[in-house]
Amino acid sequence: MSTVQAAENKSDVEVVTSPSVDRDGVELALQAVEAQISAQEDAHKTAIARLTLIRDSLRTALDPEGRVKELITALDLERQFHEECLATLRHFGFTNGGDALPSFDTVSHSFKLAELEAASRFQSPKLVPKVPFAAAVRSINAHKTMPNQIDTYINEGVYGKIKDDESNEQNAGWRFSIVEGADEMDLKAHDNTKLTLGERIRLAEANREKAARGINRHEYAFLQMDGLRRKKPVDRRTWTVLDGDEALSASQFPHASWYDDRVFFDDVHPRDRDGRARFRSSVGGDVLSR
């Protein structure tokens, strides 16, 4: 009979510390039990996720319009639009009272049902408007909120020089996305920090819902702006791979974080390994007004 089975058959397990105890056997049994507990927890999470998808599909089939309204409410988009998006845009000088923005109804109706469903399973879903990247960087530098904060670091070989591109980008019209907005992202269930970043990005893409994509520099810049307004910069212990960004290539992965008292936009090689790397998903981004 194994040590695990023997322990299960006893009604009372006496904790013994005498030299006669088979410590190696007990430690092996403990490791086996802990592995079984972990496997059961993972299986439970997988089953719950699968049943949740089935439940949501059934709800949608019964009443698609009602499901859209339900998701908009559950995602708290209206409050985020009025209390967070506008506050951050005003703080960093992007709008005067929000008059130039589309209405919340316009914003909320820009999201497809599949996008809202995907966002409902995000870590801390957050509504973010697209702002011109160069203008966002200049505004972050001009409106510092953290003690000892210094100007944003930009790897110009990856992101280009910060120049006056507002006239081009602002004419493209307002775009809103919903992103994973946690201050520090938890490691996804499918992720594995022992793998190279190239392998991990392929895992992230394979496990991402069809309606979602990776986050880009514009979305991340606003996410940091919102965090800085709250004096809680994003990614102080981790960093985000910008796997939805135009700079992504087979030889460079753009990433961003709060590092060394500043917002930090850099890149990393796909063959590197780093346990601090995290992935954020995003949905939406359609042009709303011109």
Residues 154-188 pLDDT 10s = 999 999 988 765 544 554 678 999 999 999 999 99
Strand order across the beta sheet in which 239-241 lies: 153-154, 262-268, 253-259, 239-241, 277-279
pLDDT value of position 171: 47
- How many helices, marked H, and strands, marked E, lie in the chain? 12, 9
> 110 pLDDT exceeds 70?
yes
**pLDDT tier, 7 (very low <50, low <70, confident <90, very high otherwise):** very low
Q: Are residues 99 and 214 in the same domain?
A: yes
Query: For the CA atoms of the chain, what is the radius of gyration?
Result: 23
Q: Report the domain count for the chain.
A: 2
Contact call for residues 261 and 92 (beta carbons, < 8 A): no
Residue 190 lies in a domain: yes
Q: What is the mean pLDDT of the segment spanning 254-280? A: 97
More confident: 162 or 77: 77
* 29-51 pLDDT per residue, tens: 888 888 888 888 877 877 787 77
**What value does the mean pLDDT of the chain take?**
87
pLDDT value of position 120: 96
Q: Which domain holds residue 44?
A: 1-8+22-62
pLDDT value of position 51: 78
Q: Are residues 169 and 34 in the same domain?
A: no
pLDDT value of position 96: 54
Q: Are residues 165 and 253 in the same domain?
A: yes
